[in-house]
Structure 1
Amino acid sequence: MFDARLRPLIDPPLNAIGRALASRGVTPDAVTMAGLAFGLLAAVSVALGAPGWALVPLLLSRLMDGLDGAVARATRPSDFGGYLDLVSDFAFYGAVPLGFAILDPEANAVAAAFLIWTFYINGASFLGFAAQAAKRGMETAAQGKKSLYYSAGLLEGTETIVFFVLLCLLPGWFATLAWGFGVLCLFTAVARVLNARELFR
């Protein structure tokens, strides 16, 4: 919901850093993999009982997620790079709830399973929309220049980052937050499906 509004603020500094990294030979794929490594480290930190410490690698992971595109724009964007970025994002999104389930299975496992299920549905609605949009030659730059069509929704990258930060700061509230965010994920998916019904008939 807030991604498009934040783009004019975050893109200029990200692009500047991206150009600097590209000039030193850093590749977009390397930045993507660094972001995934930080994200998985955050999930492991949660699972090992240190959700507060997980904030550092979690935020570094999301910084890398923004920088890989900036490095790509400074060099040569590739379809594989966009694909790798998307796979890495979904791996990260699933790993954090899994970490909380491992941390306290009795309190968190069901809520984590529900949250991952809603991520799965929301992801399917997003990817299916992108596939159909590509067939029709549709393009958008509302969330920045991307390798595939990014359909807007109630929950986007900004909201998900804020949610994960809250989970790390308030681990005892994981189940409540997960149920609430999961419901919003379902709402986002349903809204996207209804939008697709109007556009793709």
Structure 2
Amino acid sequence: MGMFDAKIRPLIDPILNAQGARLAAFGVTANQITVAGLALGLMSAAMIALGLTYWALVPLLASRLADGLDGAVARCHAPSDFGGYLDIVCDFVFYGAVPLGFVALAPEINGLAGAFLLCSFYANGASFLGYAVLAEKHDMQTAARGVKTLYFTGGILEGAETIGFFVLLCLWPQAFIPLAYAFGALCFATALSRVLLAARVFFNR
């Protein structure tokens, strides 16, 4: 169970939905916002690699705002399966690009910790997507984290915690190694919790 995601949804969704309706009225599509959000995220990762970690916060936070707005715009029309697919692909690219930026900033120093962090993201992502596939197969539904194309399971760490972690890294880049190991360990714990949940829910199905 993520500490923040499910709790902040009721607070931020009305704001995002209102802004999404305005953007949709101007003809902006959800997929355009998704791609723009990825571009901002990659810009942030490039700035991190160049040592501009403080300034990288601007496109980083803007990319996450876009990640919230694309769903709000999609809900003003008919959400498409491809839109949900594009959103999750862009999210995963963003989540991998930011740690890669810190590794590129100081590969000899940050390389091993960065590899550990990315491996933990890989395991966490696999547990999340695998569960979503099985949930779809069994017609499971949830809206605890907003209306989504994929089934979202809870975990120790979710999107809000990850963004907070990235912000902390940008503000305190010299602590990348201990922070990466600590967060990576929690990501592995989150992945394990999903595997155990899947075993309980799907083992006899």
| Distance in 2 of aligned mates of 1:67 and 1:76 | 15
Residue 172 (structure 1) aligned to one of 160, 166, 174? 174
Spell out the pairing of 1:186-197 with structure 2 (5 A cutoff): 186-197=188-199
User: 1:91-112 CA deviation, whole Å, 9 max, x = no partner?
Assistant: 0000001000010112111111
Q: Which residue of 1 aligns with 2:112?
A: 110
Report whether the alignment pairs 1:183 with 2:185.
yes
| Distance in 2 of aligned mates of 1:165 and 1:176 | 15
| Distance in 1 of aligned mates of 2:176 and 2:78 | 40
| Distance in 2 of aligned mates of 1:20 and 1:42 | 26
Spell out the pairing of 1:37-76 with structure 2 (5 A cutoff): 37-76=39-78
Q: Which residue of 1 aligns with 2:86?
A: 84
Stretches of structure 1 lacking an aligned partner (at least 5 in a row): none
Query: TM-score, normalization: structure 2?
Result: 0.97
Q: State percent identity of aligned pairs.
A: 63
| Distance in 1 of aligned mates of 2:178 and 2:70 | 33
| Distance in 1 of aligned mates of 2:18 and 2:109 | 44
Q: Which residue of 1 aligns with 2:132?
A: 130
AA aligned opposite 1:60: A
Report the Cα offset of residue 41 of structure 1: 0.2
Q: Which residue of 2 aligns with 1:30?
A: 32
| Distance in 2 of aligned mates of 1:17 and 1:111 | 39
Report the Cα offset of residue 188 of structure 1: 0.2
Q: Which residue of 1 aligns with 2:201?
A: 199
Q: Which residue of 2 aligns with 1:160?
A: 162
Report the Cα offset of residue 75 of structure 1: 1.4
SS state of the match for residue 29, structure 1? Answer: helix
Q: Which residue of 2 aligns with 1:10?
A: 12
| Distance in 1 of aligned mates of 2:14 and 2:118 | 33
| Distance in 2 of aligned mates of 1:48 and 1:76 | 40
Q: Which residue of 1 aligns with 2:123?
A: 121
Stretches of structure 2 lacking an aligned partner (at least 5 in a row): none
| Distance in 2 of aligned mates of 1:192 and 1:83 | 21
Report the Cα offset of residue 51 of structure 1: 0.7
| Distance in 2 of aligned mates of 1:15 and 1:182 | 33
User: 1:158-193 CA deviation, whole Å, 9 max, x = no partner?
Assistant: 000000000000000011110000000000000000
